[in-house]
Amino acid sequence: MSESHDTNGTPRYYVPHSSVWPIVGSIALFITAFGAATFIQQSTDKVLTATGTYGGIIFYIGLAAIAFMMIGWFGAVIKESLQGMVSGLLDQSYRQAMMWFILSEVMFFAAFFGALFYARLISVPWLAGAGHKLETHLFLWPDFAETWPLFMTPGGTATEAMAAWGLPFINTVILVTSSVTVTFAHWALKKNQRGALQAWLALTVALGIIFLILQGVEYVHAYNDLGLNLSAGIYGSTFFMLTGFHGAHVTLGATMLAVMLIRILRGHFTPENHFAFEAASWYWHFVDVVWLFLFTFVYWF
Amino acid sequence: MIAHADTIPPARHPLIAWILRWILTTNHKEIGTLYLCFSFLMFIAGGAMAMVFRLELAQPGLQYLGADFYNQMVTLHGLIMVFGAVMPAFVGLANWMIPLMIGAPDMALPRLNNFSFWILPFAFFMLLSSLFMQGGAPNFGWTLYAPLSTTYGPPSTDYLIFGVHLMGISSILGAINIIVTIFNLRAPGMTLMKMPLFVWTWLITAFLLIMVMPVLAGAVTMMLTDRHFGTSFFSAAGGGDPVMFQHVFWFFGHPEVYIMILPGFGIASQIIPTFARKKLFGYNSMVYATASIAFLSFIVWGHHMFTTGMPLVAELFFMYMTMLIAVPTGVKVFNWVATMWRGAMTFETPMLFAVGFVVMFTIGGFSGLMLAIVPADFQYHDTFFVVAHLHYVLYPGAIFAMMGAIYYWLPKWCGNMYNERLGKIHFWTAVFGLNLTFFPMHFAGLGGMPRRIVDYALPFADLNLVSSIGAGILGLTQFLFLYIVVDAVRGGSGKATGQVWDSAEGLEWTLPSPAPLHTFHKPPQVD
């Protein structure tokens, strides 16, 4: 590994060795993407070449390869950090990169929120004859009436709405609380109170897991009792895509925090140097804020 | 002090060591070269597809292709040129030049840099493999409009969707790297308002990439779930709307257009002052104009869909906002002209390409203004006039800018001068070929010839024959360009000095030619 100090002792730039992990990651992503497309085709109605189940196997191999790459790549970075090779400048680069990455995630959710608002403000009213779209209404679906949640689609699929003040509200409280506990953990880390740090962080991870379990309960309720599923028109589409991608991000965030907990138990991080912990907690705040928008616009209003 | 390592233990076979070096490299210059070579390969692939459909269009009637294969060629041509040729070429230039221009030893996150490049060959392997799949390649145009891509898309569409996801990951990671490099690794004394304009334009481009590539990912994900999981995003029967796809797509698509041109603006702003032997006129206004264009790019997407059903108020809003873009763009064009005004100009090949860029990009800009007028657009929409417009901003816009950039910086990269005579021949044949190809399309389009249709009415026969001949000439010039570059790398017309161009300014010219593998171990001081 390389040195981080020049001859007069000022650490400035760090240019790493050539690395095997990026190419491993590229191949892993390719296997995953190719496997996912094949898997989806083989498990739904549009079969491409041969029926079979090998698409799923390729997909899971790809996911395992991605996990292998992440463990290897992050492991290398952690080793460098523990050896003190992360200078202030590199630390700053990591921080900025994480912030821009979170911005890109925000924009991913923005696409789905855009779809939600388009459906609520434009397409559903238009289908019911609002604005200059009266003919569409009269000739295609004259019986269609505008409601939100969309209990009956123009095509005639019925569903019930998910109530906001049951499980979703409890989940809101859980997630907001977890955002507070992760901040307490951060304060404890800055004061070097390792015991408090471990306790608050473990509590955060536990709250995240409880949130995910309750989301699972809610999905079962939606499918079994409400007739609310992906095929239940635009309300079901936006409901499941937004909450589903949010749930995936919570899973990712909780995994990140769990890894941080393991690292903390092994004695990593100092009050001054703990970028990875901060990155994971920023990510956690991000999924929390996304949830607040979800609760407001998907469940509540 | 910079810390770097000899890449591979020397015990390996030299060929394997050579291959591994390129696969594992974390060096910004090597990764820049990889990007540029890859994008040229894709440029030839996308160009070959254009040759195929121009051959078909040379005569009315159906000669060589069926309608479906024609549509596949048009679709892949668009996707490959946008995501495989233009974007990676600009990222390659950014990789090579941004660290040299801001006095940094490398990109801020070198391993991530390698990652963002090596995702691309796999993504395009997946996209191109769709040609050999049952049902053929995607055939609904690069804009992927629903329901053509959902209800009616061929099975290979799913591979396209995941290919787009890979390209998006690559672009986002690349953009994050560039933005962090620019914010974090500038040499002491290089304040933001002292940065070369190529760096400025790329900073803004990278911001646009981070903002819109995830939106495209969202759009194709909705496509995927509509295709396979029964969602109704783009289906009116479920309360969705096919037009919504167009809104989401063009919210990505319009900033994407500027992603493909802003670095070109930066390149023109580097080349013109060098060969006019004057400082760039209006540096500050150039920066502000670029930022204004980027801002406006987020609120003009509706001008791609004037005829697909929008309230009048929205059409007026998008029309006025689109026309507003002419103001900052005009600032730029006037600044380039004012830089040339009374300069001691010489016309080496990079300058020819830069001047050609200013003149012909402006033609494309004017046809854009025509398209921005709602009532006029009702006539022009989906005709060859649009094809002419977008190729005028992309070929003599983006492609000319990057070819000018390659002629301009190639001596710095390889240490040799290219053949100036051949460079000038390349420029003039390209100008001749591209105008022969794309100028008649204006008239075909105004006459009512629709785009994306394999056959056309007889009155358009002559115009299309001329376009096809021009396309053949333009295709051949690419091989002349390849020869000039290879010749320069292998010796060209002699060694280049470190300064290369006598009045070029900037940190990259303080380095020897060719630039050593690792540069700016110690950051230079900028006053």
* Largest Cα–Cα separation, chain A: 81
**Quick one: which of B408, B436, B266, B290 has its CA closest to B349?**
B408
Q: What is the CATH number of the domain that holds A242?
A: 1.20.120.80
* Among candidate residues A49, A66, A86, the one where a domain is terminated: A86
d(CA A276, CA A267): 14
B13 is catalytic: no
What's the burial of B139, exposed, middle or buried (CB within 10 Å: 0-12/13-18/19+)? Answer: buried
Helix (H, G, I), strand (E, B) or coil at B416: strand
Domains of chain B: 14-510 (1.20.210.10)
Q: A183 and A267: one domain?
A: yes
Q: Which residue of B has its CA nearest to A233?
A: B238
Cβ-Cβ contacts under 8 Å, A34 against chain B: 126, 159, 162
Q: A79 and A192: one domain?
A: no
**Quick one: which of B228, B341, B234, B230 has its CA closest to B281?**
B341
**Interchain CB contact of A204 with B (< 8 Å):** no
**Quick one: which of B504, B502, B437 has its CA closest to B472?**
B437
- Asked, as a colleague might, if the bond just before A149 is cis with ω within 30 of 0, I would say yes
Q: A259 and A186: one domain?
A: yes
Residue B239 has its nearest CB partner, among A15, A30, A150, at A150
| Contact call for A123 and B176, based on CB within 8 A | no
Residue A19 has its nearest CB partner, among B24, B126, B230, at B24
Q: A48 and A155: one domain?
A: no
Cβ-Cβ contacts under 8 Å, B28 against chain A: none
Q: A107 and A82: one domain?
A: no
User: Who's near A209: CB < 8 A, 6+ residues apart?
Assistant: A254
**Quick one: which of B446, B427, B432, B308 has its CA closest to B388?**
B446
Q: A197 and A211: one domain?
A: yes
**Quick one: which of B204, B21, B168, B188 has its CA closest to B83?**
B168
**Interchain CB contact of A50 with B (< 8 Å):** no
Cβ-Cβ contacts under 8 Å, A115 against chain B: 218, 222, 233, 240, 244, 248
pLDDT of residue A16: 72
User: Who's near A72: CB < 8 A, 6+ residues apart?
Assistant: A20, A21, A24
**Chain A: nearest CA to B517, how far in angstroms?**
12
pLDDT tens series, chain B, 527 aa: 344 444 455 567 889 999 999 999 999 999 999 999 999 999 999 999 999 999 999 999 999 999 999 999 999 999 999 999 999 999 999 999 999 999 999 999 999 999 999 999 999 999 999 999 988 999 999 999 999 999 999 999 999 999 999 999 999 999 999 999 999 999 999 999 999 999 999 999 999 999 999 999 999 999 999 999 999 999 999 999 999 999 999 999 999 999 999 999 999 999 999 999 999 999 999 999 999 999 999 999 999 999 998 889 999 999 999 999 999 999 999 999 999 999 999 999 999 999 999 999 999 999 999 999 999 999 999 999 999 999 999 999 999 999 999 999 999 999 999 999 999 999 999 999 999 999 999 999 999 999 999 999 999 999 999 999 999 999 999 999 999 999 999 998 999 999 999 999 999 999 999 999 999 988 898 87
User: Who's near B413: CB < 8 A, 6+ residues apart?
Assistant: B29, B33, B96, B514, B515
Give Cα B29 distance to the centre of its chain. 20
pLDDT of residue A81: 87
Partner residues linked to B383 by β-bridges: B450
Percent of chain A with pLDDT over 70: 93
Interhelix angle B461-489/B400-414, rounded to 10 degrees, is 10
B304 is catalytic: yes
B106 is catalytic: yes
User: Who's near B380: CB < 8 A, 6+ residues apart?
Assistant: B370, B371, B386, B445, B446
* Among candidate residues A27, A52, A86, the one where a domain is terminated: A86
Under a CB-based contact definition with an 8 Å cutoff, are residues B411 and B498 in contact? no
| Contact call for B3 and A13, based on CB within 8 A | yes
* Among candidate residues A38, A63, A86, the one where a domain is terminated: A86
Residue A123 has its nearest CB partner, among B8, B166, B239, at B239
Cβ-Cβ contacts under 8 Å, A47 against chain B: 155
Under a CB-based contact definition with an 8 Å cutoff, are residues B316 and B248 in contact? no
Q: Which of B102, B133, B185, B233 to mutate to probe the A interface, most A CBs <10 Å?
A: B233
Q: A52 and A130: one domain?
A: no
d(CA B179, CA A129): 47
Got the DSSP string for B480-525? HHHHHHHHHHTTTTSBPPSS-STT--SGGGGS-SSPPSS--SSPPP
B474 C-beta neighbours (distance < 10 Å), count: 25
Helix (H, G, I), strand (E, B) or coil at A152: strand
B269 is catalytic: yes
Give Cα B246 distance to the centre of its chain. 22
Q: Over the Cα atoms of chain A, what is R_g?
A: 24
d(CA B271, CA B508): 13
Q: A201 and A170: one domain?
A: yes
Task: Determine the structural domain holding residue A171 and report its residue range.
Answer: 87-300
Q: A139 and A272: one domain?
A: yes
B171 is catalytic: yes
Backbone φ and ψ for B450, nearest 5 degrees, come out as: -75, 155
- Each residue of A52-71: pLDDT tens digit? 788 899 999 999 999 999 99
B303 is catalytic: yes
B329 is catalytic: yes
| Contact call for A26 and B239, based on CB within 8 A | no
**Interchain CB contact of A33 with B (< 8 Å):** yes
Backbone φ and ψ for A120, nearest 5 degrees, come out as: -70, -40
d(CA B102, CA B524): 9
Cβ-Cβ contacts under 8 Å, A104 against chain B: 172, 176, 210-211, 213-214
Q: Which residue of A has its CA nearest to B185?
A: A89
Handedness of CA B511, B512, B514, B515 (dihedral sign): negative
User: Who's near B228: CB < 8 A, 6+ residues apart?
Assistant: A40, A41, A44, A45, A46, B158
Under a CB-based contact definition with an 8 Å cutoff, are residues A75 and A263 in contact? no
Q: A59 and A34: one domain?
A: yes
Note which residues in 141-180 of chain A have CB less than 8 A from chain B. 150, 153-155, 157
pLDDT of residue A5: 40
Annotated catalytic residue, options B77, B227, B391, B442: B77
**Interchain CB contact of B25 with A (< 8 Å):** yes
At B64, which amino acid appears? Y
Distances in Å between the Cα of B19 and the Cα atoms of A169, B14, B16 are 56, 9, 5
pTM value > 0.90: yes
**Quick one: which of B205, B19, B198, B26 has its CA closest to B116?**
B26
How many domains in chain A?
Answer: 2
**Interchain CB contact of A15 with B (< 8 Å):** yes
**Interchain CB contact of A199 with B (< 8 Å):** no
User: Who's near A18: CB < 8 A, 6+ residues apart?
Assistant: B5, B7, B8, B21, B24, B25, B26, B27, B114
User: Who's near A273: CB < 8 A, 6+ residues apart?
Assistant: A81, A86, A91
Got the DSSP string for B306-339? GGG---HHHHHHHHHHHHHHHHHHHHHHHHHHHH
Q: A188 and A165: one domain?
A: yes
**Interchain CB contact of A6 with B (< 8 Å):** yes
Residue A18 has its nearest CB partner, among B26, B172, B230, at B26
Cβ-Cβ contacts under 8 Å, B251 against chain A: 111, 114
Q: A21 and A3: one domain?
A: yes
